[in-house]
Amino acid sequence: MTEKGHRLTVLLAEFENPAVLVEAAGRMYESGYRRFDAHSPFPVHGMDRAMGLRRSPLGWIVGLAAVLGVVGAMGLQWWTSTIDYPLVISGKPFFSFQAYVPVTFALGVLLSAFAALIGMLVLNGLPRFFHPIFNSDRFARVSDDGFFISVESDDPLFEETQTGDFLKSIGGKNLEVL
């Protein structure tokens, strides 16, 4: 269901090869479509540019989590060894940071890993347990030798007949309404 309470309709069109798929995705984006996706059995170079996709913010999220992990670990160890429970061990200063590097590194990596996993799930809108595209028998070919573009009904330009005609005009075959 969409935000408006309507069932999500998807138009699915098959394309011959990756070059045609990239060209079709570029024409979709140039025509103003924004809620469409390209499906192929392998990554296709230039597809993200053709679809008008921006760089993912996931790198910044993971980097921020790493910095927070490092600062948090170092801060906690500093506080415990200098403020909460100061002990002079072998004549070393209260804050001897060299001993804290392994824990600091481990916490930075741990928080980065959690941020990468959670950030990826949130940014991709996952978990999504069902999508109308899974009703297509032809779509099973996407994991082998199929190249598809799907357009969702919540796209501002979506009109079932006009969008279908447009997909056919840019090389789409075997059009399905799901």
Coil, helix or strand for 106?
Answer: helix
Q: Is the sign of the CA dihedral 70, 73, 75, 81 positive or negative?
A: negative
Q: What is the pLDDT of residue 2?
A: 46
The identity of residue 147, as a single letter, is F
Contacts of 39 (CB under 8 A, 6+ apart): 139, 142, 146, 147, 148, 149, 150
What span, in angstroms and rounded, lies between the C-alpha atoms of 1 and 33?
20
pTM of the model: 0.76
Q: Give per-residue pLDDT as tens, 151-174.
A: 999 999 999 999 999 999 999 999
Please give the average pLDDT of every successive group of 10 residues along the chain, which has 178 residues: 62 95 97 95 95 95 98 96 88 87 97 98 90 90 93 92 95 93
Q: Which of 8, 60, 14 is nearest to 35 (CA)?
A: 8
